[in-house]
A and B are shown apart, each in its own frame.
Chain A
Amino acid sequence: QKEVEQNSGPLSVPEGAIASLNCTYSDRGSQSFFWYRQYSGKSPELIMFIYSNGDKEDGRFTAQLNKASQYVSLLIRDSQPSDSATYLCAVRGSSGDKLTFGTGTRLAVRP
């Protein structure tokens, strides 16, 4: 079982729709969770992070964390073509010293 799992996609949504990206992790003691956006050929860019169960909103982005289910998600409201990218989930595990990344979900927003 991979430590951090994401569906590779592509996830295709029409412009203006809500895109839902999901991530599961294996280390039950994981402490913090990060979403990065990576455009093709570019480096990862931090979108947001979450530590506590529940929802955290930042503009069009909402991160959701459910530690009991070991599940974290990212919702993008009013999706724009410029949101088309790979979204990486990263988890800081129970050891607390480093991030483990998923392979990312490719999102395509259709105009």
Chain B
Amino acid sequence: DQQVKQNSPSLSVQEGRISILNCDYTNSMFDYFLWYKKYPAEGPTFLISISSIKDKNEDGRFTVFLNKSAKHLSLHIVPSQPGDSAVYFCAASAAQGAQKLVFGQGTRLTINP
């Protein structure tokens, strides 16, 4: 029962272009969403989050969009840089605050020079 799904296992983007990573969820109780970036042999690093009361949150090159009716969120990275090459995980929780996170399977992003 995969409640958070990242249907693209991998994505390849040219340096300087926009990277768009997608995530779908099935549990309507999810209220808070996060994106993490992970390099090999390291722990996930928090990137950006969004509450269900918003439909967009922006932080520098990173923007997260939330479409509650479609149960879909996306992470936009622009412009993409070689250092962005990593595995990106979408995560969701039932509320803000201290709650367990449910993760997607991850999308491996490769930025080509």
> Does chain A bind chain B?
no
Q: B residues touching A (Cβ–Cβ < 8 Å)?
A: none
